[in-house]
Amino acid sequence: MKCLGKLLSQSALLIFFLIGLYCPAGAQGEVKIGVILPLSGRLESTGREMRQAFELAAETANREIPGLSMTIARWQGIPGLGGAKVKLLFGDHRSDPARGADVAARFIREDEVAGILGCYNSTVTKSVSEVCEKAKVPMFTATSKALNLTTQGNRWFWRTTPNNLSIDRYFFYFLKALTEGKAGMPYRIPLEEIREIVLLGEDSDMGDQFLSRISRLGSGYGFKIPLSVRYPRNSEGFSIQARAAARAKPGVLALISQTADAVKYIKTFKELGLSPRVIWGRSMAFRDVSFGESLKEDALGVLTGAEFIPALFKSLPLARGINNLYRKKTGKDMDGVAARAFTGLQAFLHVLDKAGSKDVKAIQSAANGLEMPASELILPWRGIRFGGEQQNERGQNVLGAGLVAQWQSAMESGVPALEIVYPPQFATADLIYPFPGWE
């Protein structure tokens, strides 16, 4: 009996040894994901908001949140990986593509991450995606919008956010909807009223690409671009450029700029009495709270594209629920960057669950076959499904969409607030048309 007991003890030790050999500590308990962001430098605040959103998505998947109608809120760990908890590893790229690539290589080599998310700056995202492609490690981007990221033939790269082309195309969807009586208006706008579009873009890569895309898209949708103007960023004034725009007498004035320049331009338009039918601000500057606070009633009627603003909570209860958690965590509401970051990690977690393994081939197959319905999302998209819309494109979410928002009066505060005016199913206010001008 003693010999039998000793034999059993030795067998048990052998079993535990084999378990330890083939199932290292923590292998079943967690899944590591590398997240590379601008956590210092001029984009530090943006990186911090993204980090908080990524953390919230991980927390949502790691613990059950009653009353939240989102699949990952019921998980308590990733079911397909045996309940493994999500562990995020953060790296700072400092807006430097080379540093971003180094951080990615370290995550892959030393931490054996299941995938990498990042990086906000499209140039950094591109350098990191090249590292991931070579190592055959999945990479997701939730916020980088440069067109070429999904046209390089990469097989290990996926983008959940709409790209710049999709966003600019949505601007023309809205203008066409005006002419067809489908923009929440009780009547159609004659095309001739808004056919001619004058463009103003800062002298940067962002501005140049905007001018090029809108010019190219405009002719395809039946619009004319009689004038396209580049201007120096952070200039003392823009009277020369604004006067040139005024002489063209456009139906639509579309511009892309930083917040300070956007405010200066609107003030200059007012001084010149420039009042087209539509003023469209393309960049985040026109969604910035300080834009409305600085201009007050002069901002009324200005239109901009939007991804995620508080007005959306009226039609998307799920967005309100996640925002409440984010506000409790950070003390403020989500913006479009934070909402897209949350959704990007949410999508990758669904991929891991679908893969049912940390094997990269299984993850790749699961990503290519992912189908997430709109009901799972806090953004006004039709869902998430990867494919391509441009030539040689792969890995782009083809179900992304946008919102058109307008600065309108807020009766209580006196400071303008952004209201959704398109598409009709998300609209929170009637469109003010034409642009009301200034007294």
Instruction: Tell whether 4 is covered by a domain.
Output: no
64/181 same-domain check: no
Whether residue 52 is found in the same domain as residue 189: no
* pLDDT value for 14: 43
**What's the confidence (pLDDT) of residue 234?**
80
> Range of 251's domain?
165-312+402-426
Q: In this structure, is residue 6 part of a structural domain?
A: no
Residues 73 and 91 in one domain: yes
Give the list of residues 6+ apart from residue 162 with CB closer than 8 angstroms, or none.
145, 170, 397, 400, 401, 402
Q: pTM of the full predicted structure? A: 0.89
Q: Which amino acid is at 153?
A: G
User: Coil, strand or helix: which one is 279?
Assistant: strand
What value, to the nearest 5°, has the Cα angle with vertex 143 and ends 173 and 127?
125
pLDDT, residue 411, reads: 66
Q: Which of 10, 92, 5, 4 lies closest to 44, judged by CA?
A: 92
193 shares its domain with 284? yes
Specify the CATH number for the domain of residue 269.
3.40.50.2300
Can you give the pLDDT of all 439 residues of the chain as single tens digits? 444 444 444 444 444 444 443 343 344 599 999 999 999 999 999 999 999 999 999 999 999 999 999 999 999 999 999 999 999 999 999 999 999 999 999 999 999 999 999 999 999 999 999 999 999 999 999 999 999 999 999 999 999 999 998 999 999 999 999 999 988 777 899 999 999 999 999 998 889 999 999 999 999 999 999 999 999 988 888 899 999 999 999 999 999 999 999 999 999 999 999 999 999 999 889 999 899 999 999 999 999 999 899 999 999 999 999 999 999 999 999 999 999 999 999 999 999 999 999 999 999 999 999 999 999 999 999 999 999 988 889 999 999 998 999 999 876 777 899 999 999 999 999 999 999 988 6
What is the C-alpha separation between 182 and 301, in angstroms, rounded? 19
What's the pLDDT score for residue 20? 41
